[in-house]
Amino acid sequence: VELVKTMKDDIESLLDLEEVVSSAFLRDKVLLGELFQKAGRKELEFLVNSGVTFGFFLGVIQMILWIMFPNEWVLPVGGALVGYLTNWVAIKLIFDPVEPTKVGPFVMQGLFEKRQVEVSAEFSEFLAQRVLTSPKLLLEIVNGRKANNFQAMVRKAVPGAVPDDVCTCAANALGKLSLLPRSHPLHVYVDGTLNLQATLNKRLCKLSSAEFENLLHPVFEEDELTLIVAGGVLGAAAGALQMAFGWGGPSQLGAVAAVVGAGAGAGTGMAVAKSAVLLPPQAVKAIGRCVQALGGALRVAGRLALGPRRGRWSLQRQS
């Protein structure tokens, strides 16, 4: 009991918590996805849902362009721009500005930084329950790179007459206890005594806004270009589908269809953007190949469908 209390008071000399967490996520990428799906769920929902709002307003601009210039390239090019810009704006609003910035009567700050207290609680709860559990901690304490510090702590906790070999065996025996089920009373006691969830929560809340941003933003930064381009590709695909199937002509009715398609394309791009964050790299690459194949098919379909219409529309203009 006294040993566990001593471990709690000097846990940093026994464990490199950052190394333990990073190693766990490197071994299990799905675990990392679950963490950011939990802690960043509101930001991911905003990334998806903002496509509807942003896509609509940008689609209005596309509608005006279609009325003024009823050319075949307006729908796919406009859809690509709508999808690209909606993703770019959404990501910017999630993380920027990092520090609270006064703009007129309003105080602007990134959505993620604004939720620091809430996200800190979710981060610490997830890590304490899924990563920094008693079995994993005991195993790291006994076999990790700071194992010598633990053996020295055991040496101080036992009477001086006990031989060093016995102390070493006692320290190593703790590693075998890590193999016990997590429901074992020992692990329940260690988890409750160390109380890492409260410690982590307190430290996360004390981080500066810039330091706190580094919790989630690096995950987006790695695939940020992919997220933005995905919206552009799917927006262009939506516009090409409209042209291929005749959903839109040089009339106002066609322009309304363009708005609907642009918003739908942007929203789909947002959904794929969210999937790109959460899915394993292999799945993302497979989606990329499917999008490329779809793009090729749409180009062929577009040429087949647009050929006759081009002649018909030119005759209508002449008449």
Tens digit of pLDDT for each residue in 202-246? Answer: 887 887 887 777 766 776 676 677 777 877 887 777 777 766 665
d(CA 127, CA 23): 13
- Per-residue b or e along 145-182, where b marks 16 or more CB atoms closer than 10 Å to that residue's CB: eebebbbebbeeeeeeeeeeeebeebbeebeebbeeee
Q: Judge if 92 and 155 occupy the same domain.
A: no
Domain termination residue (choose one: 213, 247, 281): 213
Report the mean per-residue pLDDT for the chain.
67
Name the domain count of the chain: 2
Across the range 187-207, mean pLDDT stands at 75
Confidence category of residue 116, pLDDT binned at 50, 70, 90? confident
Query: In which domain, by residue range, is 202 found?
Result: 2-37+113-213
Q: Is the pLDDT of residue 121 over 80?
A: yes
Q: Is 21 exposed, middle or buried (0-12, 13-18, 19+ CB in 10 A)?
A: middle
Residue 107 lies in a domain: no
Domain termination residue (choose one: 213, 243, 262): 213
The rounded percent of the chain whose pLDDT value lies above 70 is: 54
Q: Judge if 140 and 75 occupy the same domain.
A: no
In this prediction, residue 171 carries a pLDDT of 61
In this prediction, residue 94 carries a pLDDT of 77
Q: Is 109 exposed, middle or buried (0-12, 13-18, 19+ CB in 10 A)?
A: middle
Confidence category of residue 270, pLDDT binned at 50, 70, 90? very low
Q: Judge if 244 and 271 occupy the same domain.
A: yes
CA distance readout (Å), 19 to 192, 221, 295: 22, 21, 43
Q: Minimal CA–CA distance to 66: which of 249, 314, 310, 263?
A: 249
Q: Judge if 145 and 266 occupy the same domain.
A: no
| CA angle (310, 311, 317) in 5-degree steps | 90
In this prediction, residue 246 carries a pLDDT of 57
Across the range 264-291, mean pLDDT stands at 47
pLDDT digits (tens, 9 = 90+) for 305-319: 444 444 333 333 344
Q: Judge if 260 and 202 occupy the same domain.
A: no
d(CA 272, CA 29): 19
Q: Judge if 66 and 209 occupy the same domain.
A: no
Q: Judge if 175 and 227 occupy the same domain.
A: no
Domain termination residue (choose one: 196, 213, 230): 213
Candidate ranges 25-39, 155-169, 264-278; pick with highest mean pLDDT: 25-39
In this prediction, residue 297 carries a pLDDT of 45
In this prediction, residue 170 carries a pLDDT of 61
Residue 295 lies in a domain: yes
Confidence category of residue 301, pLDDT binned at 50, 70, 90? very low
Residue 184 lies in a domain: yes
Q: Judge if 15 and 121 occupy the same domain.
A: yes
Q: Judge if 151 and 84 occupy the same domain.
A: no
Across the range 68-91, mean pLDDT stands at 77
In this prediction, residue 275 carries a pLDDT of 47
Question: Is residue 166 within 8 Å of 174, Cβ to Cβ?
Answer: no
Residue 108 lies in a domain: no
Q: Judge if 143 and 278 occupy the same domain.
A: no
Q: Is the pLDDT of residue 139 over 70?
A: yes
For residue 106, give both structure tokens: 């309003």
Q: Judge if 123 and 257 occupy the same domain.
A: no
